Amino acid sequence: MTMTDSRLAVDGGRKTREKPWREWPVYDEREERALLEVLHSGQWWSVGGKKVPEFEEAFARFHDAKYGICVTNGTAALEVALRALGIGCGDEVIVPPYTFIATASSVLAVSATPVFVDIEPHSLNIDPKAIEAAITPRTKAIIPVHIAGCPADMDGVLEAARKHNLFVIEDAAQAHAAAWKGRRVGAIGDVGTFSFQASKNLNAGEGGIVITNDETIADKVWSVHNVGRTRSGKWYEHHVLGGNFRMTEWQAAILLAQLTRLEEQTATRTANARCLTEQLSQIPGILTLQTDSRVTTHAYHLYAFRYDPAGFGGRSREEFLRALNAEGVPASSGYVPLYKEVVFQRKTAGQGAWCRAGRPIDYGAVNCPVCEQVCRDAVWLFQSLLLGDREDMQDIAAAVQKIQKAWG
C-alpha cells in the first residue's frame, strides 16, 4: 500500500496505487508452441483439424458435459443454441435485464421475443420467483445468465422450467469454471453457452462454445453451426437453416493452452475476492454481495459491489467512480437495464418489428425495480485485478476507504 496523503487524487493528492496491476491476457510459451504448431501444420480451419475437437472434448469434460461444439463467439453460441432448440418466430424467451445485449439480441436474431424478468439483489441473477408471472402460452425457454461468474439459482430456474415444459439455456459467457452445488455450470439445463472474447476468464480474443448432455441437441447445434450440414451427410447437403459459425484451429490452440491455467486462476480470484469482501464490508456505504451457499465456485469474471451515497456524504456513484479511478483503481458502473437500450425502446420494436407473429411488447412500460436500482449503484472491478496478491486487494480497499473518509 502506497497511501501517504489523505487528500484525494481527484483533488490533486497522491494516488493510492501507482504500481501497474496484473497484465491481461496471461500467456507463455504454451501459447507460442500451440500457435506455431497450427501454423506449420497448414491445417488452419476446423474441418479435418485436431485442435477444435480436442478443445471441444476437454472443455465439455471440464464443464461436466458430454458434448461441446465450438463456435465463433458467445453471441453466436446463443443464437445457434436457440435455433437448434427450434425457437423462432412468435416464441417468447424469458431473460434477465441485467446482462450483456447478446442474451436478448440473440432471441431477436431468431425472430423470437425476449421477455424481461427482474433479478435478485444479492446475486444480480434472474429471480426464479419472478419467472412464473412472465410465462405465457408462447414461452419456450428461459435463459438464466451466470452474471459476473456467479451461478444463477439453477434449482429455482429448473423448477419453473419443468413445471411449464420450457428449455433452459444457460448463458455462461462469464462463468468458466463456475459451479452450482458442486456441478460446473453450462449443462445443468438443456444447453449452455460460453464466450472466449478477450475480457473473459478463458480467452482466445474471440470464440465461443455450446455444451450439452443431450446427443440430439448436440447434433442439431453441430448442424446449425455448420451451415445446416449433418455429421454423416455430404458436403453439399444442407438440412436446416444454419450459418458458418465454425471456430478456427488458431483459437482452439490458444484455448487449450489457456485451459491449463483456468483452475489455478479461479482459485486465486476466489481467495482474493474473499479477502476483498472482508475489507470492503467494513467500509460504511459499501454493500458487498452475498453468495448463496449452493454456489460452490464463483468464477469472478467481475467483482461487483454496491455503493450507497449515504455513506459517502451523498456523493453520486459517478463521482465515486471518478475518485476511485483517480486513486489508480480501474472500476466501472456496468450495465443499464437492457430493456432501456434504444434497440428495445424504438417504438417499432414494441410493435413487434422483428416478428409480426409475436406478442407485441411495449418495452417502454417494462420496469424491473431491482435491476434499475442495481444499475444505479453497482460498481465493477475487472477479473484480472483479482489475479494479483493480497497487497493488491489492500490497495483497492485502501482507495475506497480513503474516499469514504474524505466524504463520509
Ligand X SMILES: Cc1ncc(COP(=O)(O)O)c(C=O)c1O
Residues forming the site for ligand X (CB under 6 A): 73-75, 99-100, 102-103, 145, 171, 173-174, 195, 197, 208
DSSP β-ladder status, 92-95 and 139-142: parallel
For ligand X, the closer of residues 97 and 208 by Cβ is: 208
CB of 107 to ligand X, least distance (A): 12
Burial state string for 46-68 with b = 16 or more CB within 10 A and e = fewer than 16: beebebbeebbebbbebbbbebb
For ligand X, the closer of residues 173 and 252 by Cβ is: 173
CB of 74 to ligand X, least distance (A): 2
Contact 207, 255 (CB under 8 A): yes
CB of 37 to ligand X, least distance (A): 25
CA distance 243 to 263: 33
By residue count, the chain amounts to 408
Contact 379, 319 (CB under 8 A): no
CB of 81 to ligand X, least distance (A): 11
Contact 128, 153 (CB under 8 A): yes
CA distance 233 to 357: 33
CB of 160 to ligand X, least distance (A): 20
For ligand X, the closer of residues 174 and 404 by Cβ is: 174
For ligand X, the closer of residues 188 and 399 by Cβ is: 188
CA distance 126 to 128: 6
Closest residue by beta carbon to ligand X: 74
* CA angle (101 as vertex; 95, 103 as ends), nearest 5: 35
CB count within 10 Å of CB 274 equals: 12
For ligand X, the closer of residues 62 and 196 by Cβ is: 196
For ligand X, the closer of residues 148 and 253 by Cβ is: 148
CB of 171 to ligand X, least distance (A): 5
Cell of 144: 438464466
